[in-house]
């Protein structure tokens, strides 16, 4: 299982740390579930199913549907903003807590040996996802790519491995 996952939407994207992504996705799901219950949005219910899987398995990237309508993109954007607000109420999340979340088949977020993760990392990732949905994420300089959700602070530019 990879430590990183691809986050892409309509031709733009970046990479994220899977533990931080799992934490953000758990809060995104928490924000989405009341809307699904109240408004019965099948598209959103389908996305939540994907996000549950993505939160525990990074190998498939993070689900953002290329075919979402403008209204659906706006809905996910609002939920991501709500998830960031939920995360901002806390400083960190312990390994025990994130492992105990029942996101899919009783599984939680794999902590990868981290005793805790600062919520600021997940908030930065959420803001990057919002920028991706808004098509306002700055393009990474040639030969590099963005990496969000690190415990080291702000997003970093990593040298892209060229394939031949």
The pLDDT tens digits of the residues spanning 42-101 come to: 999 999 999 999 999 978 889 999 999 999 999 999 999 999 999 999 999 999 999 999
Domain tally for the chain? Answer: 1
> Considering the entire predicted model, what is its pTM?
0.90
Confidence at 147, pLDDT banded by 50, 70, 90: confident
Q: So what's the pLDDT on residue 145?
A: 84
Q: So what's the pLDDT on residue 159?
A: 55
Q: So what's the pLDDT on residue 28?
A: 98
The answer as to whether 164 is a domain residue is no
Q: Residue 164 pLDDT more than 50?
A: no
Residue 85 belongs to what domain range?
Answer: 4-159
Contact 127, 83 (CB under 8 A): no
The answer as to whether 68 is a domain residue is yes
Could you tell me which residues come within 8 angstroms of residue 88 by beta carbon, excluding any fewer than 6 positions away? Answer: 119, 123
Confidence at 141, pLDDT banded by 50, 70, 90: confident
Question: Helix, strand or coil for residue 1?
Answer: coil
The answer as to whether 115 is a domain residue is yes
The answer as to whether 24 is a domain residue is yes
The answer as to whether 127 is a domain residue is yes
Structure tokens that stand for 90 in this block: 């806390």
Cα(98)–Cα(94) distance, integer angstroms: 6
The answer as to whether 112 is a domain residue is yes
């Amino acid at each position: 299982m990879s430590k990183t996952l691809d986050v892409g939407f309509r031709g733009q994207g970046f990479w994220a740390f899977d533990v931080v992504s799992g934490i953000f996705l758990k809060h995104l799901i928490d924000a989405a579930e009341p809307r699904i219950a109240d408004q019965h949005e099948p598209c959103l219910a389908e996305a939540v199913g994907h996000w549950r899987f993505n939160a525990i398995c990074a190998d498939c990237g993070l689900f953002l549907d290329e075919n979402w309508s403008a209204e659906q993109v706006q809905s996910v954007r609002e939920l991501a903003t709500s998830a960031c607000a939920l995360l901002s109420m806390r400083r960190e999340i312990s390994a025990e807590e994130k492992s105990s979340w029942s996101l899919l088949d009783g599984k939680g977020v794999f902590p990868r040996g981290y005793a805790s993760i600062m919520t600021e990392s997940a908030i930065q990732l959420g803001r990057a996802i919002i920028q991706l949905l808004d098509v306002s994420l700055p393009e990474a300089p040639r030969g590099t790519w963005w990496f969000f959700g690190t415990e080291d602070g702000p997003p970093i530019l990593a040298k892209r491995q060229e394939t031949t």
